[in-house]
Amino acid sequence: MAYDYELEVARKAALEAGRAILEVYFEDIEVILKSDDTPVTRADYASNALILDRLIHAFPHHGFLSEESIDDPIRLEKEYCWIVDPLDGTKEFIKKNGEFTINIALAKEREIVMGVVYAPVKEELFFAIRGEGAFMEKEGQVTRLHVSERLVDLYALKSRSHETIRYAELLAKHSERILVIHRMGSAYKGCLIARGDYDIYYNFGHTMVWDTAPVDLIVTEAGGYFRQLDHSFFKYNTKKIKNDNGFLILNRPENRLE
């Protein structure tokens, strides 16, 4: 398959970073506030350094964009750019609920062509290559992912740490269509929709490109629907790294909530 080597490098980097994160996870966690008042820990920085070291060594001529590194605009001149969130769901990491992930994606000409999401505590690694499907690796077994076919009695997800009144009102408005609502953290939410466990998630807040990059592809390759709230596609490795338009993830577009 195309991008097999890139996938293997990203996979190994994610697994190695996961081990480094878990070394901190089972200790007393020191929390630092960044300039934007979001939390960061030693695990974020350790994971970031490890992943970028592996990627830069393997792909020295690519561009790189990571949450915990200074944005180098040279990436905009590159055909390929790696987009990394070394610890997505730092609040969940601090709470020690296991709902955090490592996000690694490769963009080519504004589109994601390969993505990896690893949940270290759950030992679940989700991955996709554009046009080749989405998969989950767990306990040495690889399973192809497919979204559910549900059109009634839907399973919805809410953010554990970033709930909005607008989404709560939307879910209440469509309560007759929704059977279950669960809270969940990080990019893991999208992976659970890709796996068929859940059907709906809306995000009305702002996000960064590293929050959505790999799970966008994983959901899409599993047959799901991943869009901005205006139903447009995301573009990656652009000058703007913040998305103020929100996004939605659906098992099927017919299940959108208006």
pLDDT surpasses 80 at 202: yes
Provide the 3-class DSSP secondary structure of residue 102. Answer: strand
Task: Provide mean pLDDT across the span 220-225.
Answer: 99
Among residues 82, 84, 104, 93, the alpha carbon closest in space to that of 12 is found at 104
pLDDT score at 36: 84
Q: Give pTM, 2 decimals.
A: 0.96
| Cα dihedral sign, 156-162-165-167 | negative
More confident residue, 27 or 49: 49
| Class of CATH domain 154-255 | alpha beta
Residue with tokens 């909005």: 164
211 pLDDT higher than 90? yes
Q: Where are the domains of the chain?
A: 4-144, 154-255
Whole-number CA gyration radius for the chain: 17
Question: What architecture (CATH level 2) is domain 4-144?
Answer: 2-Layer Sandwich (3.30)
- Taking 90 as the threshold, does the pLDDT of residue 163 lie above it? no
